[in-house]
Amino acid sequence: MIAVNDKGYYGEFGGAYIPEMLHPNVEELQRCYLEISEDQEFQKEFRGLLKDYVGRPSPLYLAERLSEHYGMTIYLKREDLNHTGAHKINNTIGQILMAKRLGKTRIIAETGAGQHGVATATVCALMGIECIVYMGAIDIERQAPNVSRMRMLGAEVRPALSGSQTLKDATNEAIRDWISNPVDTHYIIGSVVGPHPYPDMVARFQSVISEEMKWQLEEHTGSSHPSGIIACVGGGSNAAGAYYHYLNDPEVRLVAVEAAGHGIDSGHSAATSVLGTKGIIHGSRTLLMQTPDGQIVEPYSISAGLDYPGIGPLHAHLIDSGRAEAISITDEAALKAAFFLARKEGIIPALETAHAFAALDHLEYNADDVFIVCLSGRGDKDLSTYIKHFDQLG
């Protein structure tokens, strides 16, 4: 049975390695998250917003031209069609409702590319709650349109000036804010990372993805069981949601696609399952990229949503135990896959998601296999990167 235990561990991964200053907040969440999220009134409000505000269920689409090219059946789970353009909103809707029930009046979040920041700013606007988003100073430069979106939605974007000024430092700054504001503030973490109960709580809010897949695939094919599910993994929240209801069904292959950046051995990569070793990052015992002395290494990927030096503890457990297979995809292969999907299916994917599509070239499969690719986000935010590569790939 693959599930988190009451101390927050998946096998040897997980836990809550947090300073005592965070204990009351985290302990409160640990104590309350299941009771609150399983409450009928909560579920009614959560489901209602997912349907009417986010636009769920997201379609499960048979990609015929892609299927023909690869010689098997490929379905796409269209999380790109959600409000704000990615799966991230499933989690922020759940967490803002959680925060309200915990009586919190102030929200903080971290963001890398800005997608989670936008999804958080969106739900805070919806609920009329103060929102502060920490973002690496370098990412603020790189992702200007998303910074403007957050500001238009009424959020304050605070630059993380410490360390390498990217996602991991934005996370550190958010944690520090939480330490300094322990009573009124809820921290909306954007992925299945961080101390227990975040990995499990976020996975549960994202699990609507695989919940829908089951009945949608049954409608399409008469069986709710695909041969496998392919999803990109940075921290791993869309993958956790896409795997969730199939975790204990060993017949369904789980394929985790990581960013190889310039290549696994290039020194510029984010392939945590290959390059990472066991350690602790942001309160969780997991796999992470670090020096032999335990200093956390800055990862690299062309996709800002995948350049996180760790991986959620669920994924560390799935990969370490052999339940999930990991594939790493270079920047170049991801770019090619994005252009290929655009021309084959008329869908421009996010750069993160493009990695999942590139994995189709590296997968072993049979002609009668049915695979689902989690199309986690749309590519509008990556247009400037795509335009730069038009001459080579367009």
Q: Indicate which residues carry an active-site annotation.
A: 88, 110, 376
Asked if 267 interacts with another protein (CB under 8 A), we say no
Residue spans of alpha helices (H) in 52-114: 64-70, 88-101
Can you tell me which of 83, 101, 142, 176 binds another protein, judged by CB under 8 A? 176
Q: Name which of 159, 148, 89 is nearest 124 in CA terms.
A: 89
Asked if 70 interacts with another protein (CB under 8 A), we say no
Can you tell me which of 168, 186, 245, 317 binds another protein, judged by CB under 8 A? 168
Closest to another protein by CB, 293 vs 368, is: 293
Q: Which stretch binds another protein (CB under 8 A): 55-63, 124-132, 265-273, 290-298?
A: 290-298
Asked if 280 interacts with another protein (CB under 8 A), we say yes
Asked if 355 interacts with another protein (CB under 8 A), we say no
Helix axes 115-127, 144-152, angle to 10 degrees: 10
Tell me the C-alpha to C-alpha distance, in Å, between residue 81 and each of 77, 131, 295. 9, 24, 39
Helix axes 351-358, 331-345, angle to 10 degrees: 90
CA distance 104 to 186: 6
Asked if 287 interacts with another protein (CB under 8 A), we say no
Q: How far is the CB of 348 from another protein (least distance, A)?
A: 35
Asked if 18 interacts with another protein (CB under 8 A), we say yes
Can you tell me which of 250, 294, 343, 388 binds another protein, judged by CB under 8 A? 294
Other C-beta atoms lying within 10 Å of the C-beta of residue 241: 30
Alpha carbons within 13 A on the beta-carbon side of 235: 28
Q: Which stretch binds another protein (CB under 8 A): 95-103, 166-174, 236-244, 266-274?
A: 166-174
Size of the site for another protein (CB under 8 A): 35
Asked if 163 interacts with another protein (CB under 8 A), we say yes
Asked if 295 interacts with another protein (CB under 8 A), we say yes
Three-class secondary structure of residue 194 per DSSP: coil
Closest to another protein by CB, 284 vs 328, is: 284
Beta-carbon contacts of residue 216 (< 8 Å; ≥ 6 apart)? 57, 59, 60
Asked if 6 interacts with another protein (CB under 8 A), we say no
Can you tell me which of 99, 131, 175, 233 binds another protein, judged by CB under 8 A? 175
Beta-carbon contacts of residue 366 (< 8 Å; ≥ 6 apart)? 72, 227
Q: How far apart are the first and last CA of the chain?
A: 46
- Cβ(236)–Cβ(276) under 8 Å? no
Q: Which stretch binds another protein (CB under 8 A): 74-82, 94-102, 138-146, 171-179?
A: 171-179
Asked if 16 interacts with another protein (CB under 8 A), we say yes
CA distance 266 to 188: 34
- Cβ(237)–Cβ(311) under 8 Å? no
Asked if 158 interacts with another protein (CB under 8 A), we say no
Q: Which stretch binds another protein (CB under 8 A): 86-94, 129-137, 238-246, 285-293?
A: 285-293
Closest to another protein by CB, 176 vs 220, is: 176
| Burial class of 44 by CB neighbour count within 10 A (0 to 12, 13 to 18, 19+) | exposed
Count how many residues are written for the chain. Answer: 394
Asked if 21 interacts with another protein (CB under 8 A), we say yes
Closest to another protein by CB, 144 vs 183, is: 183
Q: How far is the CB of 283 from another protein (least distance, A)?
A: 7
CA distance 80 to 354: 12
Q: Which stretch binds another protein (CB under 8 A): 95-103, 221-229, 267-275, 282-290?
A: 282-290
Q: Which stretch binds another protein (CB under 8 A): 20-28, 71-79, 245-253, 263-271?
A: 20-28
Q: How far is the CB of 285 from another protein (least distance, A)?
A: 8
User: Alpha-carbon Rg of the chain, whole angstroms?
Assistant: 19
Q: Name which of 278, 324, 334, 326 is nearest 304 in CA terms.
A: 334
Contacting residues toward another protein, per CB under 8 A: 7, 15-21, 23-24, 162-163, 168-169, 172, 175-176, 179-183, 277-283, 290, 292-296
